[in-house]
């Protein structure tokens, strides 16, 4: 199972990403935009996810994905059970969430798609 150590290691490699503590909850941001939030029990994370793909992900993998809280439904957001993913899949989901909130140039440089 992946854990907070894995999340921190992945996020540390992402340009402009930084960790903050907000009301005793660990969050990762780019600027003022949160792209990942760790639950207080560290069993789930909320992360950026394309709104138009959310329903399909929830239907296809209900053991992995959880809907966002009511207050987060308007955002591009989904929740993920950490015990349902391996490190490679976690990396891909975190990179995709991060890519939603960085400038195109930063994203292109990171993924090597200039």
Tens of pLDDT, residue by residue over 34-55, are 999 999 999 999 999 999 999 9
Question: In this predicted structure, what is the pLDDT of residue 38?
Answer: 98
- 4 band by pLDDT with thresholds 50, 70 and 90: very high
3-state secondary structure 67-92: CCCHHHCCCCEEEEEHHHCCHHHHHH
Can you give the pTM of this predicted structure?
A: 0.96
Report the mean per-residue pLDDT for the chain. 96
- Please give the structure tokens belonging to residue 108: 């292109």
Domains assigned to the chain: 4-106 (3.90.1150.30)
């Amino acid at each position: 199972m992946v854990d907070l150590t894995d999340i921190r290691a992945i996020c540390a490699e992402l340009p402009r990403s930084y960790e903050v503590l907000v009301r005793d909850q660990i969050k990762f941001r780019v600027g003022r935009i949160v792209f990942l939030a760790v639950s207080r029990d560290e069993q789930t994370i909320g992360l950026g996810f394309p709104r138009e793909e959310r329903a399909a992900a929830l239907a296809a993998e209900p053991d992995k994905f959880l809907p966002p809280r009511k207050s987060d439904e308007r955002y591009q957001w989904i929740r993920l059970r950490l015990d349902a993913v391996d490190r490679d899949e976690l990396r891909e989901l975190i990179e995709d969430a991060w890519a939603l909130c960085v400038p195109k140039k930063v994203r292109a440089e990171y993924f090597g798609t200039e």
